Amino acid sequence: MKKGISRRDFLKYLGVGAAGTALFEGATPAFAEENLPSFELGPFKLKKTKETASGCSYCGCGCSTIVYSENDKVVFIEGDPDSPINEGALCPKGMALTDVYTIVDKNHQRVPNPNRLTKVLYRAPGGTQWEEKTWDWAIPEIAKRVKKTRDEHFEEKDDKGVTVNRTMAICQMGSANINNEEDYLVNKLMRGSLGVVDLDHCARL
């Protein structure tokens, strides 16, 4: 149901606050009550959406989010005010999270983001074209190539004869979106099993 808005509400929504109100009260005739435009508030756009608690995927700060969805489609994401970490706030990167799934088109409508990858794409070494592949193809292929590279470049000792048991041919990029246990497994696999010593993280400053 639509509701009219008073002059005081208008100032409040502007975030002007008490100081601003005082400024407007006896001031310039341009802000006299009769000169203010009247506003109608539309229905709350997220009223019928489903709320799901989630987290920002971009860095290690761990900000919490609320994902709003309608008919199983994400329509909006904002900071979770109940989170002790970010208390509802998000940085500019986090505020753009909704755009991962949808973008605003020329008609100001949210539409699915055409740049979002939803399938495995593979470009062969030296190739110029991306080919669509399945995960059933990709996962064993990744494992095979990692093992081959590691075996071909594994060093038991360095040039001073010190035992190193490492490969310098592979590096590992961590993720801000995995938890302690997953991090532990990544380290076990990379350092313990493969001898990878170049490990880095997307949130490293």
Applying CB under 6 A, the site for ligand SF4 has a residue count of 11
Q: How is residue 69 written in tokens?
A: 């969805």
DSSP for residue 193: I
Question: What distance in Å separates the CA atoms of residue 19 and residue 11, rounded to the nearest whole number?
Answer: 11
Q: Which residue is nearest to ligand SF4 (CB)?
A: 94
Q: Which stretch binds ligand SF4 (CB under 6 A): 18-26, 90-98, 100-108, 110-118?
A: 90-98
Q: How far apart, in whole angstroms, are the C-alpha atoms of residue 93 and residue 79?
A: 12
49 close to 68: Cβ distance less than 8 angstroms = yes
Please report whether residue 90 would count as binding ligand SF4 according to CB under 6 A.
Answer: yes
Residue 103 touching ligand SF4 (CB under 6 A): no
For ligand SF4, the binding residue among 63, 67, 77, 194 (CB under 6 A) is 63
Please state, in angstroms and as integers, the Cα–Cα distance from residue 197 to each residue in 65, 86, 137, 164, 170, following that order. 34, 33, 28, 10, 8
Asked if 59 touches ligand SF4 (CB under 6 A), the answer is yes
In the bound complex, what is the minimum distance in angstroms from residue 173's beta carbon to ligand SF4? Answer: 16
Would you tell me which residues interact with ligand SF4 (CB under 6 A)? 56, 58-59, 61-63, 86, 90-91, 93-94
